[in-house]
Structure 1
Amino acid sequence: MSETLSLDLLDRTAGEIVAALAAGQASALDLTDAAIARIEDRDRAINAVVVRDFGRARQAARAADVALARGERTPLLGLPMTVKESNEVEGLPSTWGSPAFSGWVAPRDAVAVARLKAAGAIILGKTNVPPFLADWQSTNPVYGRTKNPWDLGLSPGGSSGGSAAALAAGMTPLEFGSDIGGSIRVPAAFCGVYGHKPSYGLVPTRGHAPPGLDGGPIALAVVGPLARSAADLDLALGVVAGPEPHEAKAYALNLPPPRHAELADYRVLVLDQHPAAATDHEIRDALDALARRLDDLGARVDRSSDLLPDLAAQHAVFSALVGAAMSRGSPGGTTMNAHEWMNTLDAQVMFCRRWAVLFASFDVVITPTFGVVAFEHVDEPDGARRILNIDGQATPYFNQIAWPGVALLPNLPATAAPIGFTRGGLPIGAQIIGPYLEDRTTIAFARLLEREFGGFKAPPALT
């Protein structure tokens, strides 16, 4: 097979690549070699794939070719891909962007990584993150700075910024990240790709923890896929979702199908304002345009509802919960006594119930993923002193966690999808929030938007 054909295949969706491999149009080894060559070429400027495992990837590709020749077929057989650095991959370092963990090597695969491999995926390496996954940039003292393929002077987002940058730059057709404060959805929006935050607990998080820790699930935290198409999100979710192995002996996952097959049948609530976070007018304009187009197609589109939970009150509960979850072990971290923690969890349950009531009348809620598009790299070490300029006003940097938090506190699925571009040509993303455990509805809605209005476009420098 020609090198040109292998490179062309890399720009197709993961599902199309798997189908091409199954049809004998390419070999897994040739495709893996092409992916490696592209990483070595394009990543010099971007610095997204910071842990490389090319030798073992080639071995896995040879094994995949043997399996393909035997007629074996699995959902990702022969597909080269990367995963976020914080996901444990046996034999590879996992530092979470901190020098304190330099030299730590994972003794086993994370549950989700093991499922990707069992489905036939070939792990090329791991992608960059900020220290302790606590930023919407992907810069750290271990691996350096990852840059946005749309503009090297801009952040690719975080904490799965290396994931989104590698996807947008065509270095990988599929990625696997994590999200506790927008870490899948914000990078997807900044780089113009797709990302899915699963319903809490849908995908096991074991093997995604600071090095050396192996305890229970972290409140709010999820792991999930990023891709260049909504269909690939569904493909990957089907591979990784399901109970922990020790629980699977008692029950199996049976996700409900999407609520509807056409956009015209959806009941949609579109929100563009949050009491805790400002939103740039170009993002609000893009959401307005999307709402009008959905209305023109026959969907029922509302811009407000009395059923919407109090977002300010919800954000206060979310801030307490995420503060405790993210700062565990830090000297100045958020602390609360056991009864305060229980009261916070009770408040979380109340909001989960309110959202369930709303989703009896609506199918999806569309909001900004973040209040701005990709911003210039920020080097200010003190997060409290960082600002984002939104429509000429200086706003606190971390206020923006409010938009990702809309779906996080009530444990809801949320799919990030590109919906347009700024006048300056940068991607604009939205998040599609759906009912708990109805992940296939939000992904299907994103897929319908992609069909009707278009989806991922490669950055100009790469076309």
Structure 2
Amino acid sequence: MDGGAGRPSARTWLDRMARGTCSARELVADVLARVDAADARVHAVVHRDDAAVLAAAERADAARRSGDRRPLLGLPVSIKDVLDVDGWPTTAGSLARRGHVADRDATVVARLRAAGAIPLLKTNVPELSSSFETDNLLHGRSDHPLDRSRTPGGSSGGEGALLGADATIVGIGTDGGGSIRVPSHYCGTVGLRPTTGRTPETGLWPPTRAAGTMDFTCVGPMARHVEDLTLLLPVIAGADGVDPYAVDAPLAEPPALGGRALRVAWYAGHPDAPAPTPGTVVAVHAAVAALADAGHEVEEIAPPRVGGEHTATTLFFAAAGADGGAGMREAVAAAGGRHHPQFQALLDGAAGAPTVTAGAYLALQEQVFAFRARMRALAAEHDVLLSPVASGPAPRHGEAPAGVPADAYLRYEAFEFCHLNAVAGLPAASVPAVTEEGLPVGVQIAAAAFREDLVLAVAALLERELGGFRLNRRLATAGDAPL
């Protein structure tokens, strides 16, 4: 064990490099060694080039000696394998992309490089990022860092697994319906889905903007410490002139919370989701109590609902599958029909859905926008919204999430809590709160659009009061002393 709290934050490493007590090369070499040990258990790495990464670290050290003071100089950052890194493959877990090599960086990767960061490696995803179980025919299955019989979640499951194993320092994931928040919740780490439009998806494969979900997908930071989410977000945020949904919007620093009482609305269950596990309810109650004890105003509210024939989950998937799966089939045509069984079932289900006319699709979008407006109005009445991330902790591989019938593995209503904020386009973070049967359980913090500062401020308070990544490390069975 390494003392409970785990390895230092990215901010601490950057300070050490700035003071000259650690070089970028030493840091990168140490992280790569930790990845070697961790990946033997979690199987989360799909591409790495150690020689190139170490050479980049040596260049960072030389740049620092010459006076370079870029904010992320020498910091290794892992990248989800749906975002382009120049000269590296981007496979999204599909045999259709075997042999593909990117010829430029995704916008967020380019921004990280410009700030001095070093892309470290690529991490595993479900085929086409389309599952909460990270497994595919190209790279295989990733495992939970604390229990190999369980999933680290998805679709940013490789990122969650390596962070949860205390191997990597920070990473970049994507979140459409919960793909940052669920792995963070399962693996005892922290992750932020930014506001819709806060970050560009340029260089993401497959691109989503011309698909049925249009602006749902967000690129966001994942880490072990909340302060590192705050460190990365300003670097990757802002319009790039390519992604039509990415905008420049003010991004405030998380405020000190002693100045005024926040208005906190919370709910621990949802009529459109399975009954949460006892630990999930305890997690929300613990977060509410911590905020109340800190002097904030807490109010239990009725869980927000879409209404009509849809839940947030069914609305999300209705939009995603409005073309009957034609876009997904085109994207993976080169795989020649060789797909992971779960992804094949998704394709088959989409193909078997009724044909959606243009008018029906526009009516569907009207429902999306109407719910988004109502959810944003609710968020505007409060400073933050507190809820579960999912109905329970990480399930075993191939098993349905907590509360979902065993024969209904492909049903996603256990993630209704995530889909509510995704469809609404709100910023939302997951932070560890308690443990249940030897597994971490997180809580979800959301706020009004473009108020990531409030999300991160509350996440930092809960991390401090409830334990944060220390909960994960107390559950872990192995670890090394810091460098």
* Alpha-carbon distance between aligned partners in 2 of 1:146 and 1:243, rounded to the nearest angstrom: 33
CA RMSD of aligned residues (A): 2.8
* Alpha-carbon distance between aligned partners in 2 of 1:188 and 1:9, rounded to the nearest angstrom: 16
* Alpha-carbon distance between aligned partners in 1 of 2:59 and 2:268, rounded to the nearest angstrom: 49
CA contact (8 A) 2:84 2:90 kept: yes
1:342-376 CA deviation, whole Å, 9 max, x = no partner?
A: 22222222222222322332111111111110111
* Alpha-carbon distance between aligned partners in 2 of 1:145 and 1:263, rounded to the nearest angstrom: 47
CA contact (8 A) 1:257 1:438 kept: no
Report what 2:88 is aligned to: 92
Cα drift, residue 336 of structure 1:
2.4
Report what 2:369 is aligned to: 349
* Alpha-carbon distance between aligned partners in 1 of 2:156 and 2:324, rounded to the nearest angstrom: 16
1:417 aligns with 2:402: no
* Alpha-carbon distance between aligned partners in 2 of 1:40 and 1:129, rounded to the nearest angstrom: 19
Report what 1:454 is aligned to: 467
CA contact (8 A) 1:180 1:322 kept: no
Report what 1:72 is aligned to: 68
Q: Which moved more, 1:222-231 or 1:341-350?
A: 341-350
Report what 1:139 is aligned to: 135
Report what 1:176 is aligned to: 172
* Alpha-carbon distance between aligned partners in 1 of 2:322 and 2:53, rounded to the nearest angstrom: 38
CA contact (8 A) 1:263 1:298 kept: no
Q: Between the two proteins, what is the percent identity of the paired residues?
A: 34
Distance 1:362 1:9, change over 3 A: closer
Structure 2 counterparts to residues 225-304 of structure 1, below 5 A: 225-245=221-241, 252-258=248-254, 261-262=257-258, 265-278=261-274, 279-304=276-301
Distance 1:311 1:166, change over 3 A: farther
* Alpha-carbon distance between aligned partners in 2 of 1:226 and 1:326, rounded to the nearest angstrom: 32
* Alpha-carbon distance between aligned partners in 2 of 1:156 and 1:287, rounded to the nearest angstrom: 21
Report what 1:26 is aligned to: 22
1:68-87 CA deviation, whole Å, 9 max, x = no partner?
A: 11221122110112111111
Structure 2 counterparts to residues 60-459 of structure 1, below 5 A: 60-210=56-206, 216=210, 218-245=214-241, 252-258=248-254, 261-262=257-258, 265-278=261-274, 279-305=276-302, 308-310=304-306, 313-315=310-312, 316-324=314-322, 327=325, 328-330=327-329, 332=348, 333=350, 336-378=356-398, 387-390=400-403, 397-422=411-436, 424-457=437-470, 458=473, 459=475
Show structure 2 runs of 5+ residues with no match. Answer: 330-346
CA contact (8 A) 2:202 2:242 kept: no
Instruction: Give the SS at the match of 2:424.
Output: coil
* Alpha-carbon distance between aligned partners in 2 of 1:220 and 1:450, rounded to the nearest angstrom: 27
Q: Give the length in aligned residue pairs.
A: 445
1:67-108 CA deviation, whole Å, 9 max, x = no partner?
A: 111221122110112111111111111111111211111111
1:185-220 CA deviation, whole Å, 9 max, x = no partner?
A: 00000100000001111100011122xx69758431
**Counterpart code for 1:420:** V
Larger relative contact order (Cα-Cα within 8 Å, sequence gap ≥ 6):
2
Distance 1:161 1:246, change over 3 A: closer
Distance 1:461 1:304, change over 3 A: same
**Counterpart code for 1:293:** A
Report what 1:383 is aligned to: none
**Counterpart code for 1:460:** A
1:375-420 CA deviation, whole Å, 9 max, x = no partner?
A: 1111xxxxxxx63453998765422232210101111100111111
* Alpha-carbon distance between aligned partners in 1 of 2:247 and 2:402, rounded to the nearest angstrom: 49
CA contact (8 A) 2:186 2:393 kept: yes
CA contact (8 A) 1:348 1:409 kept: yes
Cα drift, residue 159 of structure 1:
0.7
Distance 1:436 1:136, change over 3 A: same
Show structure 1 runs of 5+ residues with no match. Answer: 379-385
Instruction: Give the SS at the match of 1:367.
Output: strand
* Alpha-carbon distance between aligned partners in 1 of 2:389 and 2:218, rounded to the nearest angstrom: 17
Instruction: Give the SS at the match of 1:65.
Output: helix
Cα drift, residue 140 of structure 1:
1.1
Cα drift, residue 272 of structure 1:
1.5
* Alpha-carbon distance between aligned partners in 1 of 2:250 and 2:219, rounded to the nearest angstrom: 19
Q: Which moved more, 1:310-319 or 1:180-189?
A: 310-319
1:113-139 CA deviation, whole Å, 9 max, x = no partner?
A: 111111111112101111111111111
Distance 1:90 1:20, change over 3 A: same
**Counterpart code for 1:454:** G
* Alpha-carbon distance between aligned partners in 2 of 1:399 and 1:164, rounded to the nearest angstrom: 21
**Counterpart code for 1:462:** A
* Alpha-carbon distance between aligned partners in 1 of 2:323 and 2:71, rounded to the nearest angstrom: 34
**Counterpart code for 2:448:** P
Distance 1:427 1:10, change over 3 A: closer
Q: Which moved more, 1:120-129 or 1:293-302?
A: 293-302
* Alpha-carbon distance between aligned partners in 2 of 1:219 and 1:336, rounded to the nearest angstrom: 20
Instruction: Give the SS at the match of 1:114.
Output: helix
CA contact (8 A) 1:202 1:437 kept: yes
CA contact (8 A) 1:263 1:294 kept: no
Instruction: Give the SS at the match of 2:369.
Output: helix
Q: Which moved more, 1:331-340 or 1:443-452?
A: 331-340
Report what 1:41 is aligned to: 37
* Alpha-carbon distance between aligned partners in 2 of 1:260 and 1:231, rounded to the nearest angstrom: 13
Normalization by structure 2: what TM-score?
A: 0.85
Cα drift, residue 167 of structure 1:
0.8
